[in-house]
Amino acid sequence: MRTQAGERLEVLIPAQDIQARVEHLGKRITLDYEDKELVLIAILKGSFVFVADLARAIDVPLSVDFMAVSSYGMSTKSSGVVRIIKDLDYSLDGKHVLVVEDIVDTGLTLNYIYGHVKSRGAMSVKICSLLDKVSRRQVAVPVHYKGFEIPDEFVVGYGLDVEERYRNLPDVCRVVRS
Ligand code: 5GP
């Protein structure tokens, strides 16, 4: 893909590995939610590609809702102070919720979202994240279903961006600046 001047992309997780892992996660989630009313809550914008593939890999009836949040503070660092830009459209009463996230870094954003969703009357709340930068964690947040653990590097693709670019890459790539 065309890149910005002074920027190069290196594939970290190829598309076929992502697809295989998503299929595997879908099968596990199907077994765990066989007889339950499942709602996927995708966190915009980064998880829009992941949730589209994951939803189709899950073989139980489900609904999908979206939340959009923004983090106050410096743009590349999470502050833990989260503002809800788009809240849920539907009640979670009696539902089993799976929060679908693109990446967990410090855990501050997801920790806030987890608390918010749990306060909305769901029967259960679990978390599924495609990527996990475990070495960066500042608050413990339970990631029940995980795609890949990755090193502390800034990644793009498969929904993830840098300044809104590269979300449409099929692979997860690291951005190398020269
Ligand atoms: P946390 O609150 O866990 O520190 O930050 C989570 C959010 O930071 C993610 O939802 C994502 O928006 C952003 N983020 C963290 N690491 C990366 C990364 O390597 N690449 C991209 N594109 N966003 C990231």
pLDDT digits (tens, 9 = 90+) for 106-165: 999 999 999 999 999 999 999 999 999 999 999 999 999 999 999 999 999 999 999 999
The residues annotated with a catalytic role in the active site are: 105
**If you take atom 10 of ligand 1, which residue's CA is the nearest one?**
103
Rounded-to-integer distance, Cα 119 and Cα 127, Å? 15
- Say what the pLDDT of residue 15 is: 98
**If you take atom 17 of ligand 1, which residue's CA is the nearest one?**
154
Domain 15-153 fold is: Rossmann fold (3.40.50)
Helix 48-57 vs helix 15-32: crossing angle, to nearest 10: 50
pLDDT at 72 over 80: no
If one residue of 132, 137, 160 were mutated to test the ligand 1 pocket, choosing by the most ligand atoms within 8 A of its CB, it would be 160
For ligand 1, the distance from its centroid to the CA atom of residue 147, given in whole angstroms, is: 15
pTM for the model stands at: 0.94
- Mean pLDDT estimate for the chain: 93
For ligand 1, the distance from its centroid to the CA atom of residue 115, given in whole angstroms, is: 18
Domain boundary assignment for the chain? 15-153
- Structure tokens belonging to residue 51: 């949730």
pLDDT at 38 over 80: yes
Closest-lying ligand 1 atom to the alpha carbon of residue 106: 4
pLDDT at 77 over 80: no
